[in-house]
A and B are shown apart, each in its own frame.
Chain A
Amino acid sequence: MSCPMPLLDHDTVQLAHGAGGRLSADLIDRLILPRFRSPELARLEDQAVLELPPGRVAFSTDTFVVDPIFFPGGDIGDLAINGTVNDVAMSGARVEALSVGFVLEEGFPLADFHRVLCSMEAAARAAGVRVVTGDTKVVGRGGCDRIFINTSGVGVIPDGVALSAAGLRPGDAVLVSGTLADHGMAVMTARANLGFQSTVRSDTAALNGLVADLLRACPGLRALRDPTRGGLATTLNEFARASRVGITLDEGAVPVRPDVRGACEILGIDPLYVANEGKLVAVVPADGADAALAALRAHPVGAAAAIVGEVVAGHPGTVAVRTALGAERIVEMPVGEQLPRIC
């Protein structure tokens, strides 16, 4: 991190940091504001007043409670920015502004908070979005787990863009913007003491730029979603149900990094079900598939994009996968959390 931690009177979060007095002001002025220099935020009013371009507004909120808060490839900070940017962007919207709310646990090291803020700043800059309003609360020890972050975002959907999970038609192509399961396995291998040197890194990234390029290249785009919790399997099941169509995946075409695949094998987890934080699934009409693929691959976060399957008229509401050996099986909605196996 390039930004040095400012000298403060304390090195951990105190209850008084949330009490609205001098310590609160100190925390906001010296630690938080320097990271998010937007004119709206600098006014320190109780609300941000935004000038939005004409169009329909997309609005989303998400709360981040990840453990561990620092993991290979990212931390809770960039996750909180990218997660909400992506949720708004999946409507096809241009993301305009974000809010950020912190819940801090008494005793949380301010150096860790600073590190999280710096990666939020970097993520917001990379995504090209402003943080325009925010809030900080402190709870007593044990009241939360170190740090929780809520982010909300607004964006404006350009005229003519109407993406919907219910819009799939037989013949459409299914694309993913890159390798799957990186984020979930990075967090899981960071949590587990696996006894092997893991090279798996989170893929956390903002996808709003990629979405803009994709919409330009393929105006007929039917549906977009970022396959976070529950992974590709969940997203495709949701699509298939909403559109009352079948989807057939080609197992051999689904990109998974070899180290991620190895970690999945060891823990007995199917990469199709693992969370991603910097990938999107796009469904496009067959005649737009090549243009969409080219647009994805031309962008740095979409370099490993691939066409992974197609929408079919058979088995409506169900996702099937053609295995590399030519057999077919269904891909279910996952039940609960993915749990590592015993042997």
Chain B
Amino acid sequence: MKHLQEFRDPALARKLLDGIAATVTRDWVIMEICGGQTHAIMRHGLDQLLPPEITLVHGPGCPVCVTPLETIDRALAIAARPEVIFTSFGDMLRVPGSRDDLFRVRSRGGDVRMVYSPLEALKLARENPDREVVFLAVGFETTAPGNAMAVKQAAAEGLTNFSEIVSHVLVPPAMEAILGSPDNRVQGFLAAGHVCTIMGWEEYVPIAERYAVPIVPTGFEPVDILSGILSTVRMLEAGEHGVRNDYTRVVHLGGNPAARAVVDEIFTVCDRKWRGIGTIPRSGLRLADAYAACDAERKFDVGDIRTEEPSVCIAGEILQGLKKPHECPAFGRECTPMTPLGATMVSSEGACAAYHRYARRDLL
């Protein structure tokens, strides 16, 4: 943390901005995959400082935004059961399901608790042997090792009252889905640094080859993001593709082998529905059959779930980089952080929330 200042250094950022302006000769569309990067871009106003040739579009990299409605509705039904202590990260508590959110379930008597890690949920299971503790395990490759570890630990201790609703998603298949779409306009990617810390960046090499795009793993501070954009623009202008790791201070080719091993042991790759986008083959993780006892969705039968998505919401197109939040007719009118219609407005990492919070420059 003590080096944070250096990655926000205005002089260094200015130099990178000048470098980008000096390199760019034509229009480019670059997608940052991760909601954390979207947030940083808007918070530091980087979009205002870039040359007009560069259009940044925002990717599906916010786990709260892409968790399918069915999963959320199922979670709400499980959370309402009297024997259940339902645990989740703070961000998930506000996400609207079809008719409800976890905060409302809590206000009606559901035992819903915010935790900061799955191990905290595990502790609750140990301390409350007569209750069922359920953890909502969402996120990308970043949070998967911790959530896998909790299951492994529960199994090792013989805890039978701990289970997870696993709705993990994987980034590379989503990138392929975006690049392979006939409507795609993304020409280069900033890949999410956090994800690469765990998974490394070797998975990106075949994608960069197949679709002939530059992919640059990038961090979350302004200097990281600008240097990622500069590398991407340089490659685009030179007609090059491939992976260039710009986040060498934390990211290595093979990622973190121990974290990958526990994920491989506990979880299995599966097809996964992404909210607003649809099903992407082999883009998710579920519990491996050997750990079915820890699968909350098998443990608690909540019957048929009928979902209702508000029809005006264009979050799916936003998550694929096809549209920007302020192009949604509901943005800032019917849909605000106070009255969110879609998950991209609820999650603090969501693109609509980031625009609503930072980018209404018409007000200035």
Contact = CB atoms under 8 A, between A and B. Distances in A.
Q: Do A and B bind each other?
A: yes
A49 interface: no
Contacts of A320: 364
B337 A318 contact: no
A325 B10 contact: yes
Chain A's interface size range is 20 to 34
Nearest to B356: A332
A6 interface: no
A339 B42 contact: no
Interface in B308-364: 337-338, 348-349, 356-361, 363-364
A258 B91 CA distance: 25
B187 interface: no
A310 to B, nearest CB: 14
A342 B92 contact: yes
A262 B1 contact: yes
B10 A342 contact: no
Contact of A329 (B14, B42, B348, B349): B42
Contacts of B138: 342
A343 B338 contact: no
Q: Which of A195, A325, A326 has the most CB of B within 10 A?
A: A325
Given A192-B116, A265-B4, A323 B44 contact: yes
B49 A343 contact: no
A195 B120 CA distance: 11
Given A341-B348, A343-B140, A343-B143, A328 B8 contact: no
A30 interface: no
Interface in A265-309: 265, 268, 270
B142 A193 contact: no
Given A193-B117, A340-B116, A343-B139, A328 B45 contact: yes
Nearest to A340: B90
A262 B63 CA distance: 23
B13 A325 contact: yes
A194 interface: yes
A262 B142 CA distance: 19
B43 interface: yes
B364 A342 contact: no
A336 interface: yes
Interface residues of B, number: 48
B107 interface: no
Given A193-B120, A265-B4, A339-B93, A332 B48 contact: no
B46 A327 contact: yes
Contacts of A326: 10, 45, 49
Contacts of A258: 1-2, 4
B116 A329 contact: no
Nearest to A327: B45
A324 B14 CA distance: 11
The listed residue with most A CB atoms (<10 A of its CB), out of B49, B64, B140, B357, is B357
B276 interface: no
A335 interface: yes
Contacts of A313: none
A330 interface: yes
Contact of A340 (B45, B46, B91): B91
B292 to A, nearest CB: 25
Interface in B114-156: 114, 116-117, 119-120, 138-140, 142-143
A233 B152 CA distance: 43
A1 B79 CA distance: 43
A336 B14 contact: no
A327 B114 contact: no
B222 interface: yes
Contact of A324 (B8, B357, B359): B8
A53 interface: no
A262 B358 CA distance: 22
A55 interface: no
A59 B7 CA distance: 47
9 nearest A-B residue pairs (beta carbon): A327-B45, A339-B90, A262-B1, A192-B116, A329-B358, A335-B337, A327-B48, A343-B142, A340-B90
Given A328-B48, A341-B89, 7 more contacts: A323-B45, A325-B13, A325-B44, A327-B44, A341-B348, A342-B63, A343-B143
Interface of A: 192-195, 252, 258-259, 261-262, 265, 268, 270, 314-315, 318, 320, 323-330, 332, 335-336, 339-343
Interface of B: 1-2, 4, 8, 10, 13-14, 36, 39, 42-46, 48-49, 63-64, 89-94, 114, 116-117, 119-120, 138-140, 142-143, 194, 222, 337-338, 348-349, 356-361, 363-364
15 contacts: A194-B116, A258-B2, A265-B1, A268-B36, A318-B363, A323-B45, A324-B8, A324-B10, A326-B45, A327-B48, A339-B93, A339-B94, A341-B91, A341-B348, A343-B36
